[in-house]
Amino acid sequence: MAEAAVTFLLENVKKLVVEQASLIKGAEGELKQLEDELELMNAFLIEHSDNQEKGPVFIELVKQIREAVYDAEDTLDTCLTAKFNSVGLLNRNNVDLAKKVKELRLQLEPKFAKAMNNLRGPGQSVAYGSASTLGLGPSSHHSILKKAALVMREDNVVGFADQEAILLKYLKEETKQLDVISIVGMPGLGKTTLAYKIYRGPEIEFEFPVLIWVYVSQEFNVREVFLTILKKFTREDMSGKDDIELAQQVRSRLERGRFLLFMDDVWTVEDWSQIEAALPKNNKLGKVLITSRHERVAKQTNRNREPHKLRFMTFDESWELLQLEVFGKGNTCPKEMEGLGQHIARQCGGVPLAVVVIGGTLIEKRLDKREWEKVSDSVSSYVQEDRRTTNIISLSYNKLSHNLKDCFLYLGMFPEDTEISAWNLTRLWIAEGFIQQKQERSLEEMAEDNLGDLVARNLVMAEKTKANGDIKTCRVHDMIREFCQNEASFANKNLFQEVKKTRHGVLDPAITEIVKRRRLCIHSNVVMEFLRKKPKGPGVRSFVCFSKETIGLPTEHTDSIPNAFNLLRVVDATPIKFTKFPPKLTKLIHLRYIALSGNEFKALPESISKLWNLQTVKIDNSSHEFEVKVDISTMLQLRHLKTKAAISLKEVRGEGGENLQTLSRLSAKSCKEELFIRVSNLKNLGIRGNLTNLVEASYLGKLEHLEKLKLVHDMILSNADKALHRVPHLHNLPPNLRMLTLSHTQLAWTQMDTLGGLHSLDVLKLKEMAFKGKRWETQGNGFPNLETLHIARTDLEIWTAASDEPFPKLKNLILKNCECLQEIPTAVGKGKSLQLLEIERVSTTLVQSAKKIEKERQEMQGEEVRGRRGGFKLKTSPGDAPSSSSSTSS
Write the DSSP string, 40-101: HHHHHHHHHTT-S---HHHHHHHHHHHHHHHHHHHHHHHHHHHHHHSSS--HHHHHHHHHHH
- Assess contact for 462 and 455: CB atoms under 8 A: yes
pLDDT at 86: 62
d(CA 215, CA 263): 6
Among candidates 429, 417, 405, 492, which has minimal Cα distance to 461?
417
3-state secondary structure 539-583: CCCEEEECCCCCEECCHHHCCHHHHHCCCCCEEEEEEEECCCCCH
Question: Letter for the amino acid at 189?
Answer: L
In Å, how far are 73, 93, 101 from 98, measured between CA atoms? Answer: 14, 9, 5
d(CA 543, CA 516): 14
d(CA 436, CA 670): 34
Alpha helices in 433-542 (DSSP H): 443-456, 478-487, 527-532
- Assess contact for 566 and 546: CB atoms under 8 A: no
Question: Letter for the amino acid at 419?
Answer: E
Handedness of CA 804, 806, 809, 812 (dihedral sign): negative
d(CA 62, CA 504): 35
d(CA 562, CA 112): 33
Give backbone dihedrals phi and psi of 335, rounded to 5 degrees, phi first: -55, -40
Crossing angle between the packed helical segments 443-456 and 422-432, to the nearest 10 degrees? 120
Q: Are strands 625-628 and 603-604 parallel, antiparallel or unpaired?
A: parallel
d(CA 345, CA 533): 39
- Assess contact for 211 and 260: CB atoms under 8 A: yes
pLDDT at 764: 97
What structural domains does the chain harbor? 2-134 (no CATH), 141-309 (3.40.50.300), 315-387 (1.10.8), 400-487 (1.10.10.10)
pLDDT at 547: 83
Question: Letter for the amino acid at 851?
Answer: K
CB atoms within 10 A of CB 435: 25
pLDDT at 117: 67
Burial letters for 305-333: b for 16+ Cβ neighbours within 10 Å, e otherwise? bbbbebebbeeebbbbbbbbbbbeeeeeb
d(CA 188, CA 468): 31
Handedness of CA 560, 563, 565, 568 (dihedral sign): positive
Q: Which long-range contacts (CB under 8 A, 24 or more apart) does 62-65 make?
A: 62/1, 62/2, 62/115, 63/2, 63/492, 63/493, 64/111, 64/114, 65/2, 65/6, 65/41, 65/111, 65/112, 65/115
List pLDDT tens digits, range 499-547: 998 888 889 899 989 988 999 999 877 898 999 999 999 999 999 999 8
Q: What is the pTM of this model?
A: 0.86
For the chain, which residues score pLDDT lower than 50?
52, 87-95, 121-153, 863-869, 879-890
pLDDT at 90: 38
d(CA 289, CA 225): 15
Q: Is 289 helix (H, G, I), strand (E, B) or coil?
A: strand
pLDDT at 584: 93
List pLDDT tens digits, range 328-365: 888 888 898 999 999 999 999 999 999 999 988 888 77
d(CA 473, CA 481): 16
3-state secondary structure 196-231: HHHHHCHHHHHHCCEEEEEECCCCCCHHHHHHHHHC
d(CA 152, CA 147): 9
Helix (H) or strand (E) holding 17: helix 2-19
